[in-house]
Amino acid sequence: MIAGTNSGSGKTTLTLGILRALKQRGMNVVPFKCGPDYIDPLFHRQAAGAVSWNLDVFLGSEREFCRRTQGCDAAVVEGVMGLFDGIYPDRLDASCAELAAKLSLPVILTVNAQGIGGSIAPLVKGFSQWHPEVKIIGVLANKVGSARHAEILQKALESASLPPLLGYLLRDEHLILPERHLGLSVGKLDESWLNELAEKIERTVDLEKLLDMTRGEISCLPVEKDPPATLRLGVAHDEAFCFYYEANLAALRQHGVEIVPFSPLHDPALPENLDGIYLGGGYPELYMKDINANETMTASIRNFAENHFVYGECGGYLYLLESLENFAGETLPGLGLLPGRAVMNRKLASLGYREVTGPWGRGRGHEFHYSSLIEPPPGPYLWHSSDAHGRQSDCGGMRGKVFGSYIHLYFADDPDLIRNMLARMKG
């Protein structure tokens, strides 16, 4: 696991560089992301040329590590926030430290070394001795001023008999990840940027030592072959809708569902012979004018929804509503398949894990969005939701066979929830 002392320590940049460097060495590397984030797994996939899987103890997705590592040469897990940051300040719950302890993952600690010399030693000592089940075996320094600076950091760790400095990245504005849209990145990374990053990693990170120190056996779980498909689920996938847990899609395939991608932005109509459609999260607020301009697709979805299963979450939920006010203050029509009007905010509106109960059963998920509903829509609601601190609310909506909410469900290991969803596709 590549974890950090805090957000902004450089773990994403270092992870991407290491993934690309290992790929260029011809290694079969499987990337993972600790927590419910969608963005970093998309970047991992590009850097490593392999699907990246979310690992989250609260959602129950840590099992994916043993499922997806069979036959790989290396597995790289990027942490989230600081190593010990979780739901509560005094416990490991939902932190990457909890995940590292559960999976016995060796941890490489990334440190933002700008303005730090010998002070790296007490910092690393505190982290490495904080919890007996979390094994920090090495350090990567980011934003290092020079090779001489790196030597100072290395000596400070050595003299204190702490985990060694395995490498560093020099301070370079060019290596900062592209601008982010309200905390979320848009689009793909430049291939030349990734290759340049990998080249720098090869020069200043001792990959051989890192691989040697983390070498070990992984207990793999065999993944069964997908059964013949009996249902066809259209899954929206383009610039506007791109956030899905890969494990959810894999679980649907295991239950006989064929995943059929389509684009509300670019395709003239839905694919033929679908039993349902799934509108994931993304950035509809950036593309709603273009989506609405695709009138044949809009009509196709509305007609389909009269008799078929439609499910939207977060960005997909916004698309199902009556309207969305964008950042420019323009009110743009949605599909109008669910009641409600939403507005984009400059500040985060909701963030955190959720436990839900509703017509599909019980489940767990995560919320992260800047939009909010202008006023509570009339029921019926899809979910009765509870957050990690016990605060409860009714959320989402359903009308006929159309369902949606802000909550990104993780249902890969919940066969009852999947069966209840599929029953609505079949009915």
Residues known to be catalytic: 314
Report d(CA 203, CA 274) in Å as an integer: 51
Which of 164, 162, 187 lies closest to 177, judged by CA?
Answer: 187
How many helices (H) and strands (E) the chain has is answered by 13, 26
- Which residues have CB under 8 Å from 165's CB, separation 6+? 138, 139, 140, 141, 150, 153, 154, 157
Report d(CA 140, CA 40) in Å as an integer: 19
372: number of Cβ within 10 Å: 14
Identity at 298, one-letter amino acid code = T
Helices 39-48 & 11-24 angle (0-180, nearest 10): 20
Which of 49, 82, 51 lies closest to 198, judged by CA?
Answer: 49
Report d(CA 339, CA 379) in Å as an integer: 9
Unique residue bearing structure tokens 């509106």? 349
67: number of Cβ within 10 Å: 16
Sheet holding 341-344, edge to edge: 331-333, 323-325, 341-344, 371-373
Angstrom CA distances, 418 to 36, 73, 79, 279, stand at 19, 32, 28, 16
Question: With contact defined as beta carbons under 8 Å apart, do 301 and 334 qualify?
Answer: no
Q: Is the dihedral of CA 245, 50, 193, 154 positive or negative?
A: positive
Strand boundaries in 224-298, DSSP class E:
231-236, 241-243, 257-262, 276-279, 281-282
Angstrom CA distances, 23 to 20, 49, 99, 376, stand at 5, 8, 25, 49
Q: H or E segment at 311?
A: strand 309-313
- The SS3 call for residue 142 is strand
Q: Tokens at residue 105, please? A: 């993952």
